[in-house]
Every structure is written in structure tokens, then in C-alpha cells.
Structure 1
Amino acid sequence: MTDTGSERPAPPGDLDADLYDLLEALSKRDLETVSAVATYVTELEAWLESTERDATYPDDVPERATVSVMEVAGTSYRYYQWREGDEIRSKTVELE
């Protein structure tokens, strides 16, 4: 690998101490391992966004509704879905 003279990136400044230790340990791993972890973290982020639950639901949505976050044409939406008897109900709300 060629030294390009660039400095190692600094971790975000607002992390818990245990995460700094984790990132320091990761920085000592080989490129393949770091790449695999990066892929996992990206997938984890997408999963967390898609399953995120808001503390408050719209007035007409029960708290038992499942919540997904999706993006369409650059706009993010929260999609609520629940069952009422034999019917499946849903509501989509644009995120601000």
C-alpha cells in the first residue's frame, strides 16, 4: 500500500468511551475485516431506520402498529401498519 500522506480519520467526538476503544481496536485490523464491519454497520443502520419506533404515534394510529421508515425520491416517510379485525390498516406520514 502506498503512503499518500493523508492522516487517519478521527472518530466522531461525541461517542461513549467504550466505542472509542472499539474503533481503536478496529483501526488495527486488516482492510478486509474493516470493510466487512463497514458493510455490517451500513446494513444495521438501514435496519434500525426501517424499524424505528416513534415515541408518539399519530392520533388515529394505535401504539401496537408496526413502523417502518422508507425513502421515496429523496423524501423520508414513516409507514404505520396495524390490524383491525380482519382488515389491515395503514398510514403514511412524511418525516420532517
Structure 2
Amino acid sequence: MSYEPPTPPSSLPTDIVNALNESTPDRLRDVATYAEALAEHKEREARLEESTDQDGVEERPDDLPDDVPAKATITIKEINDNRYYYWQWRDGERIKSKYKGPVNPDE
């Protein structure tokens, strides 16, 4: 590892860079965890929004439960270091989820 501090991306606003530079290592790790989770959430929201904008009705997957709409997508959630598949879809202003199964059923 280098003894020089990392160079922040030029796209980051100065006030954010300054706040990060003044943070403790524990706070920085918390920020990194939150930022990653927030990025995944926003990407999932965009995918769900895009799927509701499509005109055609897609073919219903064979493993889709009866109470899950065909527009649902699969997402991965991590809970206590275990990863699980969930069906996820938008219902009005809410995001709904239904458990599908573990990511690695052999574990």
C-alpha cells in the first residue's frame, strides 16, 4: 500500500471530499457500506421503473409464484453474510419482495 492518501475522483464535490478526509476509519467503512447499499437500491429502482415502462407483457417464468406479477425481477439480498434471491416488483409507490431461495443452495 502507498503511504500517500488516495486521490478522490474529480466528480466528487469538495464538501464531500473534505467530510471524508476528516472522518475516522470506522466512519469511512460505514459510509462505504451505506454508499454501496444505496447504489444497489437506486440501480434496482431504475430497473424496476424501466420494467414498468415496457409496453409488451413478457412471458411468465416457470418458477414465478402465482402471487408474484410477471413484471417482477430477481434481486439478491445479503442477510447476516448469507445471500438470497428475492422476486421484487413495484406496486404503486411501494416496492414489494417475495423470497425465492438461497443464492448458493449447496451451502
TM-score (norm 1): 0.48
TM-score (norm 2): 0.44
Structure label with greater radius of gyration: 1
